[in-house]
Amino acid sequence: MSSEAPSFARRSHGWMGIKRGHRARPLEWIIEKGIQLVSYSAIVMVFLIFIFVSREAMPIFLGQMDSAAVRPALSVDEAMKLPKEDLRKYLDMTPDEFVKADAEVIKMLVDLRIESSANETTDKDAKLNTTQWSHLLGPYQWTGYTKPEYIWQPVGTIHKYNIVPLLVGSLKVSFVALAFALPLALGAAIYVSQLANPRTKEWLKPAIELLAGLPSVVLGFFAMIVMATFLQSVFGYATRLNAFLAGIALGLAVIPLVFTIAEDALSSVPRSYIQAALALGSSRWQAAYKIVLPAAIPGVFAAAVLGFGRALGETMIVLMTSSASILSWSVFDSARPITASIAAELAEAVFDGHHYRILFMLGTLLFAVTFSLNLIGDIVVHRLKRRLEGKA
Amino acid sequence: MNKYMTKLAVIVALAFTSSCVQAAIIVVKGSDTMVILAQKWAETYMQKNADAKIQVAGGGSGVGFAALQQQTVDIANASRKIKSKEIETCIKTFGKRPTEYKVALDGLTVYVNSDNPIKELSLDQLSSIFTGKVKNWKEFGGPDAGISVYSRENSSGTYEFFKENVLKGQDLAANAQPMQGTAALLQSVAKDKNAIGYGGAAFGAGAKHIAIKKDDSSPAIEPTEETIVSGKYPIWRYLFVYVNPSLDKGQIAHYLNWIRSEEGQGVVKNVGYFPLPKNLRE
Amino acid sequence: MNPHDLSEPLPAPARFKRGRFDMWAFLFTGATGACTYLIITILFVILGNIILNGHSNFTWRFLTGGADKGMYDPATAGVLPMIVGTASRIILMTIFVIPIGVITALYMTEYASSTSWHIRIIRGAVANLAGVPSIVFGLFGWGFFLNFIGQNMDEILHPGGASAVWGKPALVWASLTLAVMTLPVVVVATEEALKSIPQGLREGSLALGATKLQTVLRIVLPQAMPGILTGGILAISRAAGEVAPILFTGAVSYYPELPKLLTDPFMDLGYHVFILSTQSPNIEQTRPLLYATVMALLLLTFVLNIAAIIVRAQMRRKMRLLQ
């Protein structure tokens, strides 16, 4: 830890630590506490995001949703004879709603239930509750299929909510993005930080960072309108919009991020390392390849992890370039990442229904995964910097 | 700097206070398919009735129903029928079933690439293509090439209609590629020689449409206004608007009646959908 | 020893060492250089393609026209509602995010000691907020601002009112969602600016008898103004092109009126690019319109980005002089 640093340096940030002394006033104290409270807002927001996204998904996590297409329907007389509490449960009402509802409303709801059970399907799967974890994650042999399969078909009489195709889609697209972005961005970072002469460097760096200024919807548009045709004519694959295209477009969004982090890590390697190498007779590229790169390798790792997190969470690009939710690891098949599903389907899903809740569950999952990836990336970068600055 | 800050603060404060006062305007929201239609209706109606003010927004059929239930809109546009779960939430919040009006017809057209020699298909053949049972064009007398199937986004009303009515509820082939909109789909069909896809008849350019046979023995029907309105063309659907019955009076009722009048239905034709048959206009 | 010391420039990169051709140096430098220039080429191909196809429709009438007559017709369609919608949501966002971001950065650099545990937690939270996927912000805005804050506001402000005023997609909720998303950008930029202010200024002020708060408000904050400005511009340019967070919180595909109230929905440039690329009735006919809209969006974000780069460069030069 920083115990060996001189005490003056430790003071330098805590200069307010010069004790508050005689001039401190109550008003000032209150303002100071106010500042402290406001500064906690970032922490509060992270918690609120987690709470409010997972809150909507809770019924799925707790297994309280039922998506069965066939629900038992009671006749009006039977329903009216039910005890109040049972009737409320039968009609899926909150206690609040139940108190407000008059007899006419209750009767309408009972009628509606009978009516909707009248166009009941004969499908053997109609009684299944597809929001159970076994159906969300495991394969199942649906009517009309010859073997158990993983199917995401949320709209229809029978809602098939298997999330495995979406998970595979997300991973597949992100791996392609990383495979494309990492070598390019790393090469550029080495060149810009170690090999380019200072004058070129001055415009190269902002030019690459300008790529980060391209909104993702513009990248998505470009991929869909221009790149799709170009890549298909070069590689000659059958599916126009596929994981490969989405991955390349996503890679363009990831490059500036990976480049910035890797370049930062490479430039924070102390100059004395390079000077020593040069003094011993190595050339610039040998110093870069044998001294700087190994010293900064954790930073490169962090850049890859953070880039992967960014690729997993990117929405507009994959929304515009991805398509079918099929389970396939081939990059030339289409893929449908989690984010694309949420963005495309939430607006049409029945508010508070099972499809809606499952999309929120996917959002919670996405948040948890990217949160962990970011945590790992940040810790690695932080440690590396401390080590290179000679503090660890 | 400070001057600007004060100005900004005043604007924000004004916005806050004024947002509490709601003008009496008819708010319409819902299906993206119907946005252009709803917009043209509103425009024409406002020209005829100077005192009327109508505001149209898209978002999706589900968004429209959610807004109807939360009572943030007066009229919800939908390219699909309301679902029982949505009726249920409406009854729970405002104690009434939303009133349903059929307002126009839309024919779903099946498109292939303009180089494809196939001119007609039956509903059974369509279903076998879209469910993935038949994978090669030569089965229908076309070239020996794999069929690439394009579909619509699985949340769209078009998709749901196609799935329920042509595929009779079966799942689409796993490799069918859903497109965000009919435009994107048409573009793909125009670029892909072996493609087949479906979309609203309002969208025509860029690909070739296919005549449809109800079954193997019946004649192939082209999607035209005449065949769709008369019901001869087998794949068509209604477009709906829904309204909270307690609001269905005064200006709103007048507007809804006008939509279904000769004049309102004329607008439907201009936008590329098809007018209701006379007996449904009431 | 300062590893970032630039006072001793390193010798220029030697591709040829002592007159002998070093193949590995040539390959290594060539490969990394190729990566760099490939990225830049891709960037210019994208920009060139957009400008080539978009410039002909990028007219004054297009920028100032409404969307109420023929949204998909290149001859009549305009993007004024989208420009106003995008501008209002980013201005509102700035009003929300700047004070909170600046105060957080002030606390972290001026008040708390750098080793204290809550600094570490705040820093961790800020870093994580920066990595949360944009669509998750959209879900959060929908779940928290619309359905929690908005609906409760309706119950308190309009008890028994039939229709929701606040609990629906609106300009204010989209702006707040974006403010949460861009908070890290402002915090990081302000912190950087605060740290670069010489310690002597603070000590001088304290020595003259000013209190801590007076020092912070009158000495430190004015010095950090360019940094705060950069943070604001970077936040705006990040938010200007974002679509996913506003999908469910305020943007709609069609609402040709200019947003006047905080509770109005709005059209948005970025969302409109998405709509035009996927929902257009005739993609060939609307292509010029689509390209011109992309150009408008790019112009907006690039002007902001370049402004941020210039302000930051000037600030750094000033700081170097001061130190």
pLDDT digits (tens, 9 = 90+) for C65-115: 887 776 777 888 889 999 999 999 999 999 999 999 999 999 999 888 777
Predicted confidence (pLDDT) at residue A17 exceeds the cutoff of 50: no
| Most confident segment among B118-127, B159-168, C159-168 | B118-127
pLDDT of residue C66: 82
The runs of H, that is alpha helices, within chain B are 2-18, 35-48, 61-70, 84-94, 123-130, 157-165, 182-191, 225-229, 250-259, 262-271
Kindly indicate the confidence band of residue B47, based on its pLDDT and cuts at 50, 70 and 90.
confident
Predicted confidence (pLDDT) at residue A4 exceeds the cutoff of 50: no
Instruction: Kindly determine whether residue B56 and residue C255, on different chains, have CB atoms separated by under 8 Å.
Output: yes
CB–CB of C259/C180 below 8 Å?
Answer: no
Set of chain C residues whose Cβ sits within 8 Å of the Cβ of B272: 281
pLDDT digits (tens, 9 = 90+) for C148-189: 999 889 888 887 766 677 888 899 999 999 999 999 999 999
pLDDT of residue B203: 53
Contacts of C254 (CB under 8 A, 6+ apart): B35, B39, B56, B57, B58, C67, C71, C267
pLDDT of residue B10: 54
Domain span at C226: 77-270
What subunits touch chain A, counting only 3 or more CB pairs under 8 A? B, C
Set of chain C residues whose Cβ sits within 8 Å of the Cβ of B19: 165, 261-263
pLDDT of residue A11: 40
Predicted confidence (pLDDT) at residue B138 exceeds the cutoff of 80: yes
Of A230, A164, A241, the closest CA to residue B177 belongs to A241
Domain-wise residue ranges, chain A: 4-61, 71-119, 164-388
Predicted confidence (pLDDT) at residue B279 exceeds the cutoff of 80: no
pLDDT of residue C94: 92
- Give percent of chain A above pLDDT 70: 91
Residue C33's H or E segment, with its range, is helix C23-54
pLDDT of residue B184: 76
Q: CA distances (Å), B100 to each of B82, B230, B275, C179, in order? A: 9, 22, 17, 40
Q: What is the mean pLDDT of residues A246-252?
A: 95
Predicted confidence (pLDDT) at residue A265 exceeds the cutoff of 70: yes
Q: What is the mean pLDDT of residues A382-387?
A: 83
Q: What is the mean pLDDT of residues B117-146?
A: 89
Instruction: Kindly determine whether residue B177 and residue A240, on different chains, have CB atoms separated by under 8 Å.
Output: yes
Set of chain B residues whose Cβ sits within 8 Å of the Cβ of A240: 177, 188, 191-192
pLDDT digits (tens, 9 = 90+) for A35-59: 999 999 999 999 999 999 999 999 8
The CATH number of residue C232's host domain is 1.10.3720.10
Contacts of B159 (CB under 8 A, 6+ apart): A155, B151, B152, B153, B178
pLDDT of residue C98: 94
- Give percent of chain A above pLDDT 90: 32
Q: Is residue C4 assigned to a domain?
A: no
A93 compared with C93, residue with greater pLDDT? C93
What's at A145, amino acid-wise? Y
Domain-wise residue ranges, chain B: 2-105+239-280, 109-230
Distance from CA of B252 to the nearest CA of C (A): 16
Nearest chain C residue to B66 by CA distance is C168
Instruction: Kindly determine whether residue C95 and residue B8, on different chains, have CB atoms separated by under 8 Å.
Output: yes
Predicted confidence (pLDDT) at residue B241 exceeds the cutoff of 90: yes
Set of chain A residues whose Cβ sits within 8 Å of the Cβ of B146: 238
pLDDT digits (tens, 9 = 90+) for A105-164: 888 888 888 877 776 666 777 778 888 888 888 888 887 778 888 888 887 777 889 999
Q: Say what the ipTM of the complex is.
A: 0.87
Q: What is the C-alpha to C-alpha distance for residues A152 and A166, in angstroms, rounded to an integer?
A: 8
pLDDT of residue B11: 54
Q: What is the C-alpha to C-alpha distance for residues A181 and A192, in angstroms, rounded to an integer?
A: 16
Instruction: Kindly determine whether residue A348 and residue B83, on different chains, have CB atoms separated by under 8 Å.
Output: no
Predicted confidence (pLDDT) at residue A197 exceeds the cutoff of 90: no
Q: What is the C-alpha to C-alpha distance for residues B259 and B41, in angstroms, rounded to an integer?
A: 7
C127 compared with B179, residue with greater pLDDT? C127
Beta bridge partner(s), residue B136: B146
Q: What is the mean pLDDT of residues B201-230?
A: 80
Q: What is the mean pLDDT of residues C188-211?
A: 89
Architecture of domain A164-388: Orthogonal Bundle (1.10)
pLDDT of residue C7: 46
pLDDT of residue B158: 80
Residues 283-302 of A with CB under 8 A from C: 283-286, 288-289
pLDDT digits (tens, 9 = 90+) for C9-25: 555 554 444 556 778 88
DSSP conformation letters of C207-239:
HTT--HHHIIIIIIHHHHHHHHHHHHHHHHHHH
Of A318, A350, A369, A324, the closest CA to residue A53 belongs to A369
Kindly indicate the confidence band of residue A5, based on its pLDDT and cuts at 50, 70 and 90.
very low
pLDDT of residue C12: 52
pLDDT digits (tens, 9 = 90+) for C242-273: 999 998 898 887 787 888 888 888 899 999 99
Q: What is the C-alpha to C-alpha distance for residues A320 and A323, in angstroms, rounded to an integer?
A: 8
Q: Could you tell me which CATH number the domain at B2-105+239-280 has?
A: 3.40.190.10
pLDDT of residue B2: 53
Chain B contact for A257 (CB, 8 A cutoff): no
Q: What is the C-alpha to C-alpha distance for residues C236 and A195, in angstroms, rounded to an integer?
A: 34
Alpha carbon C283 to its chain centroid, in Å, reads: 30
Q: In whole numbers, what is the pLDDT of chain A averaged over residues?
A: 84
Q: What is the C-alpha to C-alpha distance for residues A338 and A342, in angstroms, rounded to an integer?
A: 6
Between β-strands B211-213 and B75-78, what pairing exists: parallel, antiparallel or unpaired?
unpaired
Set of chain C residues whose Cβ sits within 8 Å of the Cβ of B183: 277-283, 286
Instruction: Kindly determine whether residue A42 and residue C298, on different chains, have CB atoms separated by under 8 Å.
Output: no
pLDDT digits (tens, 9 = 90+) for C21-44: 778 888 888 999 999 999 999 999
Chain B interface test: which of A227, A348, A354, A359 (most B C-beta within 10 Å):
A348
CB–CB of C187/C104 below 8 Å?
Answer: yes
Question: Which of A93, A241, A353 is closest, CB to CB, to B85?
Answer: A353
Of B90, B67, B157, the closest CA to residue A112 belongs to B90
Number of separate domains in chain C: 1
Dihedrals phi, psi of C209, to nearest 5 degrees: 100, 5
Question: Which of A97, A157, A323 is closest, CB to CB, to B169?
Answer: A157
pLDDT of residue B27: 85
CB–CB of C278/B36 below 8 Å?
Answer: no
Q: Could you tell me which CATH number the domain at B109-230 has?
A: 3.40.190.10
pLDDT of residue A2: 39
